[in-house]
Structure 1
Amino acid sequence: MAYPPEDRPNAAPEDGAPPPLPPELAGTLAGLAGAGKAPPPRRPDTSVPRTRTSAVWFGVWAGAVALLLLIVFVAQNTGNVRLSFLWMQGQISLALAMLIAGVCGAFVAMAVASVRIIQLRRLVRRR
């Protein structure tokens, strides 16, 4: 916003009325009357607070759904597949092979995450 020009008087008129607004403010909120009544007060929050028990309950339900999906996965993938790894060879259920691969992938991800957490803790300790 621009400053008022130096040639404009800043003193209020003698009759006690507020000074007129400059033209650049005449159409803004500064030139409007009051907004009316205040909004009604908010009602107090009546929601139930989250607790550890509710978090555990949610975890139990999420685990049950994941277990149900795992059972469906195993039931639909019962065929055997031939696997070869280094000098080992054999046949294993497709579902079991995929679950083993998923668990191994999770261990790799946790190892990388653990290394990162250790790095961050050392950084915080140094500061």
Structure 2
Amino acid sequence: MTQTPRGFDPTNVPPTQPEAFGAPDAGEGSGAASPAAGTDLVPGTPAAATAAGRGEGPAAGAPPTPAPDPERQVTRAGMVWAAVASALVVLILLIAFILQNQEYVQVKFFGLEGSVPLGIALLIAAVGGGVLVAIAGAARIIQLRVAARRSRATR
């Protein structure tokens, strides 16, 4: 597939190129298929982009994406519902994992020793890792807020 060069105007083909648009010996009156000013252009094609740049064709005044349906707007309540639904799915998968891994394992941590179900031990380890990530994230957020406050004070 060939690409159309940028700035190429398909309606302004010099007469010295009779094989324009793949039609051999396409003259002025041969009836060969070539785009004209009033033809429909497929949006997203180079010809449509060129026509849109000149202010011609159907893509000239059309928005690049369709307007969102006013009945389906994203709301905070909808986002919270989606987050809760996702969390419930993850929680169900976590419960299934813990129930399937009930074998007791020996755990040692800084001199403490004990026997715990494998699923619970892994859950405790994952929660501990999450707490460490949350602490690092909170420290970074505080650092950015202090820097933003200082930059506002110097203005």
Please state which band the TM-score falls in when normalised by the shorter chain: 0.5 to 0.7
1:29 Cα deviation from its structure 2 partner: 2.8
The runs of 5 or more residues in structure 2 that have no matched partner are 1-7, 14-35, 40-56
Alignment of 1:29 with 2:29, yes or no, is no
TM-score by length of 2: 0.56
Match of 2:107 among 75, 79, 83: 83
Q: Describe the superposition over 1:77-115 as per-residue Cα deviations: whole angstroms up to 9, x where unpaired.
A: 100001112221110111111110001100100111111
Q: What is the percentage of aligned positions where both structures have the same residue?
A: 34
TM-score by length of 1: 0.67
**How well do the aligned residues superpose, as a CA RMSD in angstroms?**
2.6
For the 8 Å contact 2:106–2:116, the answer to whether it is kept is yes
1:44 Cα deviation from its structure 2 partner: 5.5
- Which residue of structure 1 lines up, in the alignment, with residue 92 of structure 2? 68
Q: Describe the superposition over 1:42-74 as per-residue Cα deviations: whole angstroms up to 9, x where unpaired.
A: 575435111112112211210121111011101
TM alignment of 1:5-44, pairs within 5 A: 28-29=8-9, 32=12, 35-36=37-38, 38-39=57-58
Give runs of ≥4 in structure 1 deviating > 6 Å.
none
* Equivalenced residues, count: 100
